[in-house]
């Protein structure tokens, strides 16, 4: 049985259409799947911006010391290493940040020029050789003074040194309510980046004391809240007083000289309860 020419032409046209559709749609599906996979995967590299020059970004290589909630990568504590790396972005590199709007997390597209020094970057590569950057997610700004190296209560102040009683911070525990009619009290909210909130302090003094040198380059500050904004106010050694609670960062590996001192209020017996 011979097939009519018109039917042959129709079938050829359908085959050609199907082929063209597959060629056009398949790469999009692959690209879309890869995009979704990238967004939900661990980053290939984590870094903190050191400097920017056009399409080149020099970063301090960093790592997360902990995961936030077990649902993939999160805002864990950032630890910087001494290693640096220069990466190059292209017009195909997707640069985004995450914002909260109307109770939803959305992604906002950015340009290379929107990046700033100390931005925390989560980076994904497009190839196994790790030469082409496919995606960069900005995860906030790195605070080098997020965690103090020492906490103490000032025992004695001298012109070029302070003696502290070494202390530790104990996180407040949620109170257990045995009544079935009352909801269990929630744990206090997490402290803002840069230190523990004074209202949350559960300060425990040790029997150990330590003398720390103060140099001309030592920065002494306290933090205040004005109009809903947190600001830092610079202090001098003369402003330090006995019983001041201080957070300390060192300038030397032997931990004898302070690079930065932050006054966090005044110690009282209620601070240890």
Range among 64-68, 100-104, 194-198 rated most confident: 100-104
pLDDT for residue 269 is more than 90: no
Query: Can you give the pLDDT at residue 198?
Result: 44
Domain residue limits, the chain:
45-65+76-141, 145-171+200-272
Contact residues for 84 (Cβ-Cβ < 8 A; gap 6+)? 50, 58, 59, 60, 61
Widest CA span of the chain, in angstroms? 110
Average pLDDT value over all residues in the chain: 78
Under the banding of pLDDT at 50, 70 and 90, the label for residue 182 is very low
Q: What is the CATH number of domain 145-171+200-272?
A: 2.40.50
Query: Can you give the pLDDT at residue 145?
Result: 78
Average pLDDT, integer, range 22-38: 45
pLDDT for residue 105 is more than 80: yes
Q: What is the pTM of this model?
A: 0.53
Query: Can you give the pLDDT at residue 225?
Result: 78
Of 45-49, 85-89, 160-164, 181-185, the least confident:
181-185
Strands 257-266 and 78-88: unpaired
pLDDT, tens digit, 9 for 90 and up, residues 206-247:
999 999 999 999 999 998 877 777 788 999 999 999 999 999
């Amino acid at each position: 049985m011979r097939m009519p020419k018109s039917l042959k032409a129709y079938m050829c046209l359908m085959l050609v259409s199907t082929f063209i559709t597959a060629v056009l749609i398949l790469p999009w599906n692959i690209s879309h799947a890869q995009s979704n996979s990238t967004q939900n995967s661990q980053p290939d590299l984590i870094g903190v911006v050191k400097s920017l020059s056009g399409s080149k970004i020099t970063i301090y290589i960093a790592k997360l010391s902990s995961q936030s909630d077990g649902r993939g990568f999160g805002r864990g504590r950032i630890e910087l290493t001494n290693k640096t790396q220069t990466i190059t972005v292209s017009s195909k590199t997707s640069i985004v940040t995450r914002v909260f709007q109307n109770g939803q997390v959305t992604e906002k597209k950015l340009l290379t020029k929107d990046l700033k020094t100390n931005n925390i970057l989560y980076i994904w590569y497009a190839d196994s050789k790790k030469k082409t950057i496919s995606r960069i997610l900005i995860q906030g700004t790195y605070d080098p003074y997020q965690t103090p190296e020492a906490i103490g209560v000032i025992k004695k102040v001298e012109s070029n040194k302070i003696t502290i009683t070494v202390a530790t911070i104990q996180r407040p525990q949620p109170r257990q309510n045995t009544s079935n009619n009352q909801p269990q009290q929630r744990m206090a909210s997490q402290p803002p980046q840069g230190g523990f909130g004074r209202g949350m302090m559960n300060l425990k003094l040790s029997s150990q004391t330590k003398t720390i040198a103060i140099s001309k380059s030592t920065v002494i500050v306290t933090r205040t809240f004005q109009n809903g904004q947190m600001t830092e106010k610079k202090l001098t050694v003369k402003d330090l007083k006995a019983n001041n609670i201080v957070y300390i960062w060192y300038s030397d590996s032997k931990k004898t000289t302070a690079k930065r001192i932050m006054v966090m209020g005044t110690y009282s017996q209620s601070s240890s309860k």
